[in-house]
Amino acid sequence: MSKPLRSPLPYPFPLTLLYQDQHVVILDKPAGVPVHAGPKGGPCVEDCFPLLSRRKDGPWLAHRLDAETSGCLAIALRKQPLLAMQKAFADKTARKTYWAVVEGGPDAEQGTIALPLTKTTAPTGWRMITSPDGAPSRTDWRVLGRGGGLCWLELSLHTGRTHQARVHCAAMGWPILGDTLYGHPHPQGLHLLARSLMLPLTPPVSATASPRAGMHAALHTCGWVESETVDYSDGF
């Protein structure tokens, strides 16, 4: 397994490399930074691409994260690893796990959410909803801690639908803390972390992101201890 390399990128916003080789980079994406430039402008992950490679072609995003989600984001520096990563995501051999702090939480300790999702548009904007006619979507979950009316979950997404983790948790009655679209606002924003990413490349690539500072208080309430060595790896 490849060892992660941490290195700060000072421009255009604080950014950390969780893993880097000549083919692949895994970034620790900050919350609030979109992967693509939006219609209103502002910084985005693609702004840092010239710092990652001087080649005329690439880099390329291998997948996406919501703007408000922090954590592991894979970027291909060459076309061949891009195709390999895209195939791994399509074949569901890439493993993505998330940490979420939710309001309330499930009664059980682990389970599966299998609710189809579809996009709906209204004058106020678009959002994802559960629908029998939607695309099949599956999220496995496991409780890592509880406290103060909150629950700390590990989420394993077997499909990569837009807003999947957020909609699935909200549909179960436990919206993610700080989700302004499917739940309620919070001063520290959306409590959703792309915790780990494992890619079946040659050699295999993996990375793990730490929770951003804004999530620490809620995680501590649920029992997380920053320095402890408990194995929080996916148990599914």
Q: Enumerate the domain spans of the chain.
A: 7-221
pTM across the whole model: 0.89
**What span, in angstroms and rounded, lies between the C-alpha atoms of 225 and 171?**
29
Q: How far apart are CA 181 and CA 179, in angstroms?
A: 6
- The full DSSP string for 24-58 is EEEEEEPTT--SS--TT----GGGGHHHH--SSS-
In sequence order, what are the residues at sequence separation of 6 or more whose Cβ sits closer than 8 angstroms to the Cβ of residue 127?
119, 120, 163, 181, 182
58 CB neighbour count, 10 Å cutoff: 15
| pLDDT, position 53 | 81
Which of 184, 224, 211, 182 shows the shortest CA–CA distance to 69? 211
pLDDT at res. 57: 81
Architecture of domain 7-221: 2-Layer Sandwich (3.30)
Q: How far apart are CA 150 and CA 77, in angstroms?
A: 40
Identified catalytic residue from 66, 91, 140, 234: 66
pLDDT in tens, 56-105: 788 999 999 999 999 999 999 999 999 999 999 999 999 999 999 999 99
Residue 131's pLDDT is what? 97
Whose CA is closest to 155, among 172, 170, 138, 171? 138
Cα separation, 195 vs 215, whole angstroms: 12
Strand partners, 24: 76
Listed in order, strand segments (DSSP E) in 48-171 are 60-61, 70-76, 95-103, 110-113, 117-122, 125-130, 139-147, 150-157
Q: Can you give the pLDDT of all 236 residues of the chain as single tens digits?
A: 444 445 555 455 567 899 999 999 999 999 999 998 877 778 899 888 888 887 778 899 999 999 999 999 999 999 999 999 999 999 999 999 999 999 999 999 999 999 999 999 988 899 999 999 999 999 999 999 999 999 999 999 999 899 999 999 999 999 999 999 999 999 999 999 999 999 999 999 999 999 999 999 999 999 999 864 444 444 33
The 10 Å CB-count burial string (b at 16+, else e) for 115-142 is bbbeeeeeeeeeebbeeeebeebbbbbb
Q: Is residue 66 flagged as an active site residue? A: yes
